[in-house]
Amino acid sequence: MEWFTASDYWLTRLVFQRALAAVYLVAFLTAALQFRPLIGQRGMLPVPRFVERVPFRRAPSLFQWHYSDRFFALCAWAGCGVAAALLAGLDSLLPLWGGMLLWLVPWVLYLSIVNVGQTWYSFGWESLLLEVGFLAVFLGNDEVAPPVVVLFLLRWILFRVEFGAGLIKMRGDACWRELTCLDHHHETQPMPGPLSWFFHHLPRPLHRVEVAANHVTQLVVPFLLFTPQPVATAAASLMILTQLWLVLSGNFSWLNWITIVLALSAVRFPADPPEVREAPLWFVVVVLAVATLLVGLGYRPVRNMLSRRQVMNRSFDPLHLVNTYGAFGSVSRVRYEVVVEGTRDDVPRADSGWLEYEFKGKPGDPRRWPRQFAPYHLRLDWLMWFAALSPAYADPWFGTLVERLLENDRATLKLLRRSPFPKDEPPRYVRARLFRYRYTSWRELRETGACWERTYVRDFLPPTRLAGPVHRP
């Protein structure tokens, strides 16, 4: 069945699978280290409360049948173990059906996490990892050559990621059409990286070139993915270079890395293919059946992509088999940050000894330079960026965050860089204030050593204290 497989893509498959396993590992590690204060039994949005009101058919998950923090930790760390095994190449040592089942395990585990993760897992790269991870099950292992149809469907996902993102920009904020969005984006993006300050201060004509190049990469180059080699490889390589540029300019979790992994599936690496047996009939039938299902389900994301009312980052089925993607259809011109503070004073006043909580990734102290965290995902820091855009984004969880800070809850404090209060002396009051942040100029940086300048705007949350005695588990 020479028509079914592409033996000259065997090294492509190997590189793609190992890179995807690395992304899975980061995703599960993020879940294992952060779930307790976010969605645990005493989390800000507890899973048990969620599964009580959302049926299995709407959010299929292992945790619909049973949830405890211990069981979640077991699933998350098991995901880390399986991802590490796949990264080491264990699937190549198993029979074809065993390798497929091994790739199915992280998909089931991560689907279970995402479907109960609520707003903490509402990012587009969660669905993208699941969509790509599901297809990876059917790529096979060293027993057979990679199926052509699966390689095609991976390119189809990459096309939708890039072309959909390009369309949402052209239909959205006028600054994309005017080539001026990067005058603001590096300063107002959710989580700046260590080089973002320098990217922001690049000459404005260069920003125009960056935006124009982005439009070409997202609106023209994707069509070249379906052309013969080596053109398809060149197109995918250009996408990889663009994503690496984005990696340098900000902290976007594993969005850029999973896109790079997808692009690798279209690169044909020069290598002599090994001798493999013909694909068994059962494998051919399964792959073609799954491909037919995915092509049929793909109608909805295509319709969304072509619609004038295009939406970003939405899944069209509870298994996240087909989704729509996109980012930054609009770009903020001003950066706001929510600064959280506490005091030990019995009666809080404006001049009380308010001490600031420091977050790991989001801007806080103007003199603290941003760090690189991606592909690791700081979920609380990202949601704090949304909270600064509108308090409505924070309504479901911000009040509980404040309660946990008033309790000096250990799990919650681990999400932060530093708490200003000792473990046995929690604050009596916590408040939040909204500040406007802007990058300093070269002169200001030399004079003050600060990369940010901030200005108080208004109160976000008035001084708040616990109504009853502190509960510590």
What distance in Å separates the CA atoms of residue 379 and residue 43, rounded to the nearest whole number? 13
Predicted local confidence at residue 275, as pLDDT: 87
Predicted local confidence at residue 341, as pLDDT: 97
Count of C-beta atoms within a 10 Å radius of residue 316: 18
What distance in Å separates the CA atoms of residue 61 and residue 70, rounded to the nearest whole number? 16
68, 47 Cβ separation under 8 angstroms: no
Which two three-digit tokens encode residue 35?
């779930």
What distance in Å separates the CA atoms of residue 22 and residue 254, rounded to the nearest whole number? 10
What distance in Å separates the CA atoms of residue 127 and residue 109, rounded to the nearest whole number? 13
Predicted local confidence at residue 1, as pLDDT: 64
What distance in Å separates the CA atoms of residue 385 and residue 118, rounded to the nearest whole number? 17
Question: Which is nearest to 426 in space by CA: 348, 352, 344?
Answer: 344
Residue 361: which residues within 8 A CB-CB, separation 6 or more? 191, 251, 370, 371, 373, 378, 381
41, 184 Cβ separation under 8 angstroms: no
What distance in Å separates the CA atoms of residue 323 and residue 268, rounded to the nearest whole number? 26
Report the half-sphere exposure of 464 (CA within 13 A, side-chain side): 20
> What does the DSSP 8-state code read for residue 464?
E
Predicted local confidence at residue 468, as pLDDT: 60
Predicted local confidence at residue 472, as pLDDT: 41
What distance in Å separates the CA atoms of residue 74 and residue 85, rounded to the nearest whole number? 16
CA angle at 173 for the pair 169 and 174, rounded to the nearest 5°: 105
What distance in Å separates the CA atoms of residue 124 and residue 325, rounded to the nearest whole number? 6
* CA 150 from centre of chain: 24
243, 109 Cβ separation under 8 angstroms: no
What distance in Å separates the CA atoms of residue 170 and residue 175, rounded to the nearest whole number? 9
Q: How is the beta sheet containing 355-356 ordered, strand by strand?
A: 355-356, 335-343, 429-439, 452-464
Question: Which is nearest to 189 in space by CA: 336, 312, 314?
Answer: 336
Predicted local confidence at residue 140, as pLDDT: 95
CA angle at 323 for the pair 118 and 317, rounded to the nearest 5°: 65
Which two three-digit tokens encode residue 90?
């264990």
Residue 315: which residues within 8 A CB-CB, separation 6 or more? 127, 322, 323
Question: Which is nearest to 378 in space by CA: 190, 106, 244, 115?
Answer: 190
Give me the residues of the chain with pLDDT under 50, please.
470-473
Whether a cis peptide bond, with omega within 30° of 0, leads into 422 is no
